[in-house]
Amino acid sequence: MKLQKIIHKSVKGDRRSQKQFFDLYANRLYAVAKRYAVNDELAEESLLLAFLKIFEKLPEFVFINEAALVGWLSRIVINQTLMDRRKELNTLYKLESIDEEHIEMLSDEEPDNTALVELVNQLPDGYKTVFMMYVVDGYAHKEIAETLGISENTSRSQFFKARKLLQKKLNYNYGQAGT
C-alpha cells in the first residue's frame, strides 16, 4: 500500500492502516527515543506517548515526502522523550562543570560507526543531548534552547564543550582523525 494511502486511512481512523504505519516507523522511532532516554523502559514509554500524539496530529500533517515525514515523526518523539527529562536536564545545565573524566579511552584503531556512537553515548548527559540534537537531528540552537528550556548560549556552550571533549578523546586515540 502506498504511504500516502496508509496515512489517509490512518487519519480516517482505520486501525489496520494505523498498524501498518506503526510497523513502518516503530523501529526507527524507537532508536530515536532510545538516543535521548535514560533507559530502554523510559524510551518505550516515551515512544508510546509519542505515537498517540502522532495519530492525534496526523490529520494536521501535510505530506510532502517520506524524509519530511520521518523528520516530523522524529521531532515528536524527541520532544516527548525530553519532556519528562526537561527539569532534570535544566538542572544539569545549570552546573558549571561536568565531570569529563569518566569517559573511557578508546583503542588505537580507526573508529567505526559503532565506536563513534559509543563515544557519543559516553558523553555527559547534557553534552550528549545538545550534541545529538544539533548534529544528528538537525536542530538549531534556538530550537534546542526552546525544547530543553535553556538559553541559546547554554546550548551553544554545551555543544562546543561536547565537541571539544570528543576531539580531545579522538586526538588522544586517533591523532588528527577527528578534525
Residues that bind another protein (CB under 8 A): 15, 18-19, 22-23, 26-28, 30-32, 34-35, 44, 47-48, 51-52, 55, 112-114, 116-117, 120, 132, 135-136, 163, 166-167, 170, 178-179
Nearest distance, CB of residue 29 and another protein, angstroms: 8
* Pick 90 or 106: Cβ nearer another protein: 106
Q: Residues 122, 127, 133, 134: is their CA dihedral positive or negative?
A: negative
Total Cβ atoms within 10 A of residue 143 = 16
Nearest distance, CB of residue 18 and another protein, angstroms: 8
Place of cell 530550537: 143
Instruction: Please name the residue ranges forming H helices in the chain.
Output: 3-12, 15-36, 40-57, 66-94, 113-121, 125-135, 141-148, 152-174
130: its cell numbers: 545538545
* Pick 55 or 61: Cβ nearer another protein: 55
* Pick 106 or 136: Cβ nearer another protein: 136
